[in-house]
């Protein structure tokens, strides 16, 4: 396979990077919309020649063929010889996707129906604890992909969360984590969701043992525990009767639309959860069918490639301008950095170009009073995604967002006093959501999932394994540091 930096488009882009002069365009050519999300990339350091070459690079990397390979279930996770089918989790019921000569969609639909039954029963106070009292609190025990997505989702859609139930998360192995969450809960009315793809995650199993002792009614075990795992046999051996499967073709960080998100389904109801799936599926279809010049995930990915590989900017700041997205950055950190934090290509060889960016950020109005000064006059190279909601256009929060974009891209205070000089010239994407709804949330998740996939294709790395993560897990297991 031809090396990435030997491709014709790559060589063109290297030349453009040396000669490009920053210009600021507000033309409609830099506005792309789909599924209630508009991308304004007028703040990026690109022109038509650069964009054409980035599209050429995508074509030289056979991006279209790689998209089709992922969607139809080919084993594109080459190091683990697995398909990558998180998109199947939100596919319609009549879709056919074959894995090992078996249509996987009926299994997915069965799990969806089970989630509907469980969530409805708990919301209707029909799921009873060991003393006959209805469940009042649901606790998700999981870490990484088994926590970050559900935690983000349930807080993002807090206005839709049922107010007669409490929802809680236990993730890290801090000695006080379990006791602090359960201090004000009643064992009689608490349900634990034990989420672990492998069902061997040390932190999760440790907290499960604490939960088992805290409930202290083993004969009523299944009234208080639900397992969500790809290792169904292991869960059965541990005594679980209510088990919602996920599958080895869904990576933990890509499990947002799976049963891993059961706690959100309970919290907002199955109807709203289905809207998340519909929004994600709509973005999937846009990604598969739209020309690259108008394809939101592809454009977002290629702009990132330009910044990282040709402008040498390895920081991606994500600032959100709604409290609904305040937990988006931690979720995105795992999604992106665990996927594309790689320096070995798909053929097992060391690469000599940059890959995944460092993701950081948070609420934009908080940035104004913490690290915004560094953005304006600091010495580090940074690119940024600003995410706002159009329904706030008349509010101060969106006026602040526009002001941030203006200063970061164009600078300000160009007077004689050098202390007041702000250069600007930070490459900025502005992502505007028409509204914040379950459907738009699903589309936003799908957008970034596919952006990361596209970058992995161009960099010729496997975005779907995580050997660095597995290495430390194995040391913990070998030394029995967590019982």
* Residue 355 backbone phi and psi in degrees, to 5: -120, -130
Q: Per the residue annotation, which of 338, 405, 449, 450 is the catalytic one?
A: 338
Q: What is the pTM of this model?
A: 0.95
pLDDT (tens, 9 = 90+) of the chain, 483 residues, equals 679 999 999 999 999 999 988 765 555 568 999 989 999 999 999 999 999 999 999 999 999 999 999 999 999 999 999 999 999 999 999 999 999 999 999 999 999 999 999 999 999 999 999 999 999 999 999 999 999 999 999 999 999 999 999 999 999 888 999 999 999 999 999 999 999 999 988 889 999 999 999 999 988 899 999 999 999 999 999 999 999 999 999 999 999 999 999 999 999 999 999 999 999 999 999 999 999 999 999 999 999 999 999 999 999 999 999 999 999 999 999 999 999 999 999 999 999 999 999 999 999 999 989 999 999 999 999 999 999 999 999 999 999 999 999 999 999 876 678 888 899 999 999 999 999 999 999 999 999 999 999 999 999 999 999 998 766 666 666 666 554
What is the enclosing helix (H) or strand (E) of 138?
strand 137-141
The pLDDT of residue 324 is 97
- pLDDT for res 352: 95
Residue 281 annotated in active site: no
Q: 419 catalytic, yes or no?
A: no
SS3 430: strand
The CB-side HSE value for 472 (13 A sphere, CA atoms) comes to: 4
Kindly compute the dihedral angle of the four CA atoms of residues 153, 159, 164, 169, in this order, to the nearest 10 degrees.
30
Report the pLDDT value the prediction gives residue 481, as an integer from 0 to 100: 59
What pLDDT does 416 receive?
74
- Rounded to whole angstroms, how far apart are CA atoms 316 and 428? 10
| Residue burial 405-432, b: 16+ Cβ < 10 Å; e: rest | bebbbbbeeeeeeeeeebebebbbbbbb
3-state secondary structure of 304: helix
Per annotation, catalytic residue among 350, 369, 416, 419: 369
Q: CA 210, CA 215: separation in Å to the nearest integer?
A: 9
**Per-residue confidence (pLDDT) for residue 132, from 0 to 100:** 97
369 is catalytic: yes
- Is residue 434 within 8 A of residue 33, CB to CB? The reply is no
Select from 204, 202, 89 the least CA-distant residue to 139: 204
The pLDDT score that the predictor gives to residue 172 is 85
pLDDT score, position 173:
86
Which helix H or strand E contains 41, and what residues bound it? strand 37-43
User: Which residue is listed with tokens 């050519």?
Assistant: 29
Q: Which domains does the chain have, with CATH numbers?
A: 4-79+276-464 (3.40.50.10490), 89-272 (3.40.50.10490)
């Amino acid at each position: 396979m031809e090396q990435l930096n030997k491709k014709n488009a790559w060589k063109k882009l290297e030349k453009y990077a040396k000669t490009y002069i920053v210009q600021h365009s507000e033309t409609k050519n830099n506005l792309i919309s789909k599924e209630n999300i508009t991308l304004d990339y007028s703040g990026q350091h690109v022109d038509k020649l650069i964009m054409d070459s980035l599209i050429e690079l995508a074509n030289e990397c056979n991006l279209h063929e790689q998209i089709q390979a992922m969607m139809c279930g080919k084993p594109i996770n080459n190091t683990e010889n697995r398909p990558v089918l998180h998109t199947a989790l939100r596919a319609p019921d009549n879709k056919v996707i074959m894995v090992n000569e078996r249509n996987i969609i009926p299994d997915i639909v069965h799990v969806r129906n089970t989630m509907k039954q469980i969530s409805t029963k708990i919301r209707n106070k029909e799921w009873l604890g060991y003393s006959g009292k209805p469940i009042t609190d649901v606790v998700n025990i999981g870490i990484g992909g088994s926590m970050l997505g559900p935690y983000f989702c349930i807080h993002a859609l807090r206005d839709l969360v049922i107010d007669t139930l409490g929802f809680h998360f236990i993730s890290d192995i801090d000695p006080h984590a379990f006791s602090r969450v359960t201090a004000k809960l009643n064992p009689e009315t608490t349900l634990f969701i034990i989420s672990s793809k492998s069902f061997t995650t040390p932190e999760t199993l440790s907290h499960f043992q604490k939960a088992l002792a805290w409930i202290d009614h083993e004969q009523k075990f299944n009234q208080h525990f639900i397992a969500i795992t790809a290792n169904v046999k292991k869960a059965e051996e541990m005594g679980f009767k209510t088990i919602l499967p996920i599958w080895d073709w869904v990576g933990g960080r890509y499990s947002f639309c799976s049963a891993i998100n059961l706690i959100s389904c309970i919290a907002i109801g199955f109807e709203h959860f289905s809207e998340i799936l519909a929004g994600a599926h709509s973005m999937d279809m846009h990604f598969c069918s739209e020309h690259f010049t108008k394809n939101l995930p592809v454009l977002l990915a290629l702009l990132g490639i330009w910044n990282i590989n040709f402008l040498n900017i390895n920081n991606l700041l994500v600032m959100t301008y709604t409290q609904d997205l305040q937990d988006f950055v931690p979720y995105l950190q795992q999604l992106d950095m665990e996927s594309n934090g790689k320096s070995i290509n798909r053929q097992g060889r060391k690469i000599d170009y940059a890959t995944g960016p460092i993701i950081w950020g948070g609420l934009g109005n908080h940035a104004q009073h913490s690290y915004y000064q560094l953005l304006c006059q600091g010495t580090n190279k940074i690119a940024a995604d600003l995410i706002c909601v159009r329904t706030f256009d008349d509010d101060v929060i969106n006026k602040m967002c526009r002001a941030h974009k203006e200063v970061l891209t164009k600078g300000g205070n160009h007077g004689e006093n050098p202390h007041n000089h702000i250069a600007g010239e930070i490459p900025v994407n502005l992502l505007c959501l028409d509204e914040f709804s379950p459907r738009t949330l699903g589309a936003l998740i799908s957008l970034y999932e596919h952006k990361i996939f596209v970058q992995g294709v161009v960099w010729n790395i496997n975005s779907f394994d995580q050997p660095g993560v597995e290495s430390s897990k194995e040391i913990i297991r070998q030394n029995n540091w967590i019982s």
